[in-house]
Amino acid sequence: MFGFGQPKLSSEEKIAAVENEIKVMTEMQTRMAKICSQKCLDRTYREGELSKGEASCLDRCSVKFFEAHTTISEQLQKEQAAKGGMMGR
């Protein structure tokens, strides 16, 4: 309303923001897969499929990893917003 608040983004800026979000999510998924597989998978590969314990561990690990990523992202966004608010003073 009346030009105040968030500035409107151009199409290029919107595309760049989406591309950046995809990059961040891809990097997070890659880190999560590496960390959780190191933590949860048996290195001897005795079975062709995941055991119940491995599947359960991977599930818990990935949920915790994603929750931590979300919490950190939200905190960083709050800090950026606070910095942005102070910059306008």
Asked, for residue 2, whether it belongs to a domain, the answer is: no
Residue whose token pair is 């917003």: 81
Asked, for residue 6, whether it belongs to a domain, the answer is: no
**Domain containing residue 27:** 11-42+54-83
Asked, for residue 88, whether it belongs to a domain, the answer is: no
The 10s digit of each residue's pLDDT in 42-88 is: 888 788 899 999 999 999 999 999 999 899 989 998 998 888 766 55
Asked, for residue 89, whether it belongs to a domain, the answer is: no
Asked, for residue 47, whether it belongs to a domain, the answer is: no
Whether 58 contacts 40, CB under 8 Å: yes
Q: If we measure between CA atoms, which residue out of 21, 27, 29 comes closest to residue 62?
A: 29
Asked, for residue 5, whether it belongs to a domain, the answer is: no
* Number of separate domains in the chain: 1
pLDDT band at 1 (very low <50, low <70, confident <90, very high): very low
Asked, for residue 73, whether it belongs to a domain, the answer is: yes
